[in-house]
Structure 1
Amino acid sequence: MDLADLIEPDRVVFAARASNKQQLLQDLASRAATLLSLDARGIFDALQAREGLGSTGLGNGFALPHARIDGLSRLFGMFTRLNRPIHFDSIDGKPVDLVFLLLIPAIAGSEHLGALAAISRQLRDQQFTTELRKASNATALCKLLCAPRHA
């Protein structure tokens, strides 16, 4: 599995604005809810509850917020590159500017573990994250994210 299996062009957000982690999670929940015809508050609450277990800021400016969502029938991915890094309680203490949201069906088995591993592996690749940070617009970001990668 790679990012192209989880993401589509309308799920790539370029230069999003957020001043803190809560605002970012609210924005992601709202965007996802619109695309999925689900309740934004329910998504936000699930993301907040997961963050309460430990930060999903995985280091090197990358975060992978994720949560199980009632009413979701399959894995849903969304990528956001922030216009300015924000504090995210990351394991390395560094601010975050690259965020991959993964929403998981509430009744899913363990297939989401493979998705989490694939996302984490690809976004820990320093060359790939450098390319994401250099992308000049949403189309360029999507070209990097939405095309199958063979590592």
Structure 2
Amino acid sequence: MSETSLTIETILAPELTLCNVPASSKKRVLEFIAEQIHLHNATLGDTQIFSNLIARERLGSTGIGQGIAIPHCRLEGLEHVIGLLVTLSESVDFDAIDNQPVDLVFALVVPKEATSEHLELLSQLAEKFNDRTFCDRLRQSEDAITLFQRMTSGR
């Protein structure tokens, strides 16, 4: 394992950054995430990703409040962390801690062994998403390229 620390910039690919995704439910959002990651990396099964995301949600919602969710899971056989960022065209109920519907989702899929990296990335995301102005800028992104640039530049 390399010594470089993981950052949001190193795990988020432009093709896994999507704007105004239609979703009718939390389940549908998680299915969409699994499908997109599978399209990005065909060696990863969408069913396996979806099952792991659902299993993690059963432990407690990953809706962190203020319309934001960070669904995440560990995956056997994964070699590097994968991030996916979407804005939803309409907010969906995510059982968030503040009971607010979610429209900004950053998913994290990490190798089974990557415990410290996993926690570090969750902490980085929580810090970024704690900035309301930053979140508003993400929500106002008109297209995926802008969304990606705003997320990775932090401005």
TM-score in terms of structure 2 length: 0.91
User: 2:12 aligns to what SS in structure 1?
Assistant: coil
How far is 1:137 from its partner?
Answer: 1.4
Q: CA RMSD in A?
A: 1.3
How far is 1:138 from its partner?
Answer: 1.3
Within a 5 Å distance, the mapping from 1:46-61 to structure 2 comes to 46-61=52-67
Distance in 2 between residues matched to 1:137 and 1:24, nearest whole Å: 19
Q: Single out whichever of 62-71 and 30-39 deviates more from structure 2.
A: 30-39
Equivalent pair of 2:57/2:71 in contact (CA under 8 Å): yes
Q: Single out whichever of 91-100 and 132-141 deviates more from structure 2.
A: 132-141
User: 1:8 aligns to what SS in structure 2?
Assistant: strand
Where does structure 1 differ by over 2 angstroms across 4 or more consecutive aligned residues? Answer: none
If asked which structure has higher relative contact order (CA below 8 Å, sep 6+), I would say: 1
How far is 1:144 from its partner?
Answer: 0.3
- The answer to whether 1:32 aligns with 2:42 is no
How far is 1:146 from its partner?
Answer: 2.7
Partner of 2:110: 104
Distance in 2 between residues matched to 1:2 and 1:93, nearest whole Å: 29
User: 2:53 aligns to what SS in structure 1?
Assistant: helix
Partner of 1:7: 12
User: 2:114 aligns to what SS in structure 1?
Assistant: coil
Distance in 2 between residues matched to 1:71 and 1:31, nearest whole Å: 18
User: 1:10 aligns to what SS in structure 2?
Assistant: strand
User: 1:46 aligns to what SS in structure 2?
Assistant: helix
- The answer to whether 1:85 aligns with 2:128 is no
Distance in 2 between residues matched to 1:5 and 1:63, nearest whole Å: 20
Which residues of structure 2 form unaligned runs of 5+?
Answer: 1-5
Partner of 1:144: 150
- The answer to whether 1:44 aligns with 2:50 is yes
Aligned residues: 149
Cα pair distance change 1:91/1:109, threshold 3 Å? closer
Quick one: which amino acid aligns to residue 106 of structure 2? F
How far is 1:133 from its partner?
Answer: 1.2
Q: Deviations over 1:59-87 (max 9, x none)?
A: 00000000001121011101000001000
Equivalent pair of 1:65/1:99 in contact (CA under 8 Å): yes
Which residues of structure 1 form unaligned runs of 5+?
Answer: none
Q: Percent identity?
A: 35
Equivalent pair of 1:8/1:146 in contact (CA under 8 Å): no
TM-score in terms of structure 1 length: 0.94
- The answer to whether 1:132 aligns with 2:138 is yes
Equivalent pair of 2:23/2:92 in contact (CA under 8 Å): yes
